[in-house]
Each structure stands twice: as C-alpha cells, then as structure tokens.
Structure 1
Amino acid sequence: MAETVFTPSLEGMKHVKSESGVILTKPFLDVCKQILPVLDKFGAAMALVKSDIGGNITRLENKYSSDPSKYEQLYSMVQEEVQNKTAKVIYALLVNMYKSTSVHNWVAMKLAPNREKFMEVISGTGDIKADIEKFCTTFYPFLKENHDFLASVGLDDLKAS
C-alpha cells in the first residue's frame, strides 16, 4: 500500500469525532502526535514548534489519563479549565496546531533548502501532493471548530485565517 508521512494522521482523523459529531480527546491527541514526525521533516526550522506542540500534547494526555471518562470529549477539558481559569495549556495546543497546520502555512515547504529533495523525503511510496491536500482539507476543519469553540468561551485571541 502506498504511504506518505501523512498516512497515519489521515487514518487517525477518521476516528476524531464521535458518532454524534463531538471531538474526542484521545483520537484528536493521537492525530496531533502523528503530525510531529511530519514537522521533523522540515528540519531545525520547525524544532521549536514541534517541541512546543509536543509538550502541550503530553500535558493534555496526562490530564486525559487522570480521568478518561471525564475527559473523553476534548471540550470537557477546555470547559473545566475555562471555569478554573487555567485554560492556557489547551489553548496553547489548539492555537499552535491551528497556526502550524493551516492550509496557508504549508508554504513553509518552500523554506526547505531543496524542495524536490524535501518532497522526495516526505513522500514515501504515495502521492505526497494528494496527501498534503487531503490532510489540510480534513484536519483544518477540526482546528477551525476548535478555534470557534475557544472563541465561544472567551478565548478568542486567535484570529481565524
């Protein structure tokens, strides 16, 4: 089967929402983790972004693990943190993911010293251009929904792109 660095996250996105359409914490965080190796392919330029996102994912996974049934839905964690005025970690992850993976930010690929070599490295055996487009069009709506939710609870510092 043809695969690219995006194949695991594309597969994982099929499980991010419950049957009722709610974003589930563990599958969402799993997809976020699967994006980290993609950031590695950009080299040192993305190391800080990867570290920041990875640290936020770990903190959210730890919170989720403390009570998986309570935090099954991503927004239950956010709502609790908003009430306790401690929403910084979730806010930081969602903002970083929104900014780092939006369709408009894939221009970062142009920063690679040799674009053809970079595309070859990340393509694996699949159609990398098709997978990048599918990833962006599939993951971006989750991030947009997260942004809209954050705005609805007064965490609207992030401007939609």
Structure 2
Amino acid sequence: MSLFAKMEHRFQPVPDDKQILVQPFLQACNDGIIPFLEAFGKTFIPVKSDVAGNINKLQTKFDSDPEKFSSFNAMLEDEVKTQDTDLARVGGLWLKRGLEFICTIFRMMIEEYKSGNMSENFGAITRKAYEQSLKKYHGWLLQKMVLGISRTLPSTKNMLKMLSESEDTNDQLIMDMYQFEQELFANLEVLNALFINMDLDDQSKV
C-alpha cells in the first residue's frame, strides 16, 4: 500500500461555501505531506521543518479557540480585524506556498510517468517545480540552498520505491498520487483565492 493510500486523514472536498476547515486540513498535512517530505531523506529536513513550523502556527491559532477558528476564513478575518496575531496570515500563507511546491512536484511526476519518459533525476524534477512555485518568493540565499538540496536527492526510482512502501506497482502508486494531488489542489485553489481576495498574498521575498 502506498503512502497516499494508507492515509487516515485526507484533504476534504471543498464545500459549497468555500470554507476550508482547519483541523481536517492540518491532519491531512500531517498524514500525507510530512511523511512525503521525510522520504526525501536528511537533506530535506529544512523544508520539512519549515512546513511543520507553519502547520504548528495554524494549530496554535486553532487551539486557542477551536469553535471560533474552525475555518481558515474565520482565522484570517480575525487577524485582519484585531491584528492580535499573525499565525494564520504568515503560517497559512507559507504553508499554502510550500504545498503548492509539493503539488507541482506531484503533477510533474504524474505527467512524466504517463508520458513514459520519467526522468531518473528526481533533483531535476524538484528544481523545475521550485522554479514554477516557490522560487519567486525567495531571495538569493534561499534559492542557493534549495538548489544545493536538490542535488543530493535520491533517484526517481528510489523515490517511487520509498513512496510505495510495498510491492504495489508504480501504476498503482501514480494513481494514488494523482488522487491525493487532486484533493490537495482543489483546497489550494480556494486558499489561494482567499489570500488574494483579502489582500494577504504578500509578494515580498525572504
């Protein structure tokens, strides 16, 4: 069974009111995203730590009043109004961006596999995904760090093997990855629109 198929918590379908519930979203991140990043090995620890740190910021905000802050909308509206914390504004923004990077990696792997021309250089896939997502928000130093990390990643073959966690075929793994990517992407589209509409999509580089 693949990492994606055995997840206890998954990204939920987007409701009609576009209110993304915080707790199920964070549970899906902890069940699927963190283990995926762990599969990269020790060199990807900084990326995992960054994602986990942003998850923790949102969890802290949620835990302060679970009933009041059940949705991302409620969290962000509170911070815009009160300015008391920036846990959702900052943690949510950077978690969303990190997930967009990961979602792009999934999409590229799926597209390359379906084309029958998947690169064995997983670092190259990661660099391409980074250029299409996170790179524009990073300054020179962070860009160099990510480039260095990408050169130490396992081969694509080994990555697929680690994500399978069983004797499943790559066909089954890619199907599971596709389902996970679709669920994640649907949520990210709504979150991205939320940050833009609330004028919280800060384009400053770090």
Please indicate the TM-score interval, normalised by the length of the shorter structure.
Answer: 0.7 to 0.9
1:56 Cα offset (Å): 1.1
Q: 2: CA distance between counterparts of 1:105 and 1:46?
A: 19
TM-score w.r.t. the length of structure 2 is: 0.65
1:11 Cα offset (Å): 4.8
Equivalent residues of 2:18, 2:190 under 8 A apart: no
1:94 Cα offset (Å): 1.8
Which of 94, 98, 109 is the aligned partner of 2:96? 94
Residues 13 and 21 (structure 1 numbering): CA distance in 2 closer, same or farther, change over 3 Å?
A: same
Which of 167, 172, 186 is the aligned partner of 1:141? 186
What's the C-alpha RMSD, in Å, of the aligned pairs?
A: 2.7
Same amino acid, percent of matched pairs = 24
Q: What amino acid does structure 1 have at the position aligned with 2:178?
A: E
Q: What residue number does 2:161 align with? A: 120
1:8 Cα offset (Å): 4.5
Equivalent residues of 2:20, 2:72 under 8 A apart: yes
Equivalent residues of 1:150, 1:156 under 8 A apart: yes
Q: What residue number does 2:122 align with? A: 110
Mapping of residues 1-161 of structure 1, within 5 Å: 3-9=1-7, 11-14=9-12, 17=14, 21-34=18-31, 35-83=33-81, 84=83, 86=86, 87-102=89-104, 103-104=106-107, 106=109, 110-111=122-123, 112-125=153-166, 126=168, 127-157=172-202
Q: 2: CA distance between counterparts of 1:97 and 1:62?
A: 19
Q: 1: CA distance between counterparts of 2:6 and 2:70?
A: 21
Q: 1: CA distance between counterparts of 2:202 and 2:60?
A: 25
Residues 5 and 98 (structure 1 numbering): CA distance in 2 closer, same or farther, change over 3 Å?
A: same
Q: 1: CA distance between counterparts of 2:80 and 2:6?
A: 32
Q: What amino acid does structure 1 have at the position aligned with 2:157?
A: E
Equivalent residues of 2:11, 2:183 under 8 A apart: yes
Gaps of 5+ in 1: none
1:148 Cα offset (Å): 0.8
Gaps of 5+ in 2: 110-118, 124-152
SS in 2 for 1:70: coil
Of 59-68 and 85-94, deviating more is: 85-94
Q: What amino acid does structure 2 have at the position aligned with 1:75?
A: N
Of 110-119 and 97-106, deviating more is: 97-106
Query: Residue deviations 1:49-91, cap 9 Å, x none?
Result: 1101101111211211111100111211122123327322222
Equivalent residues of 1:18, 1:24 under 8 A apart: no
Q: 1: CA distance between counterparts of 2:7 and 2:38?
A: 15
Equivalent residues of 1:17, 1:23 under 8 A apart: yes
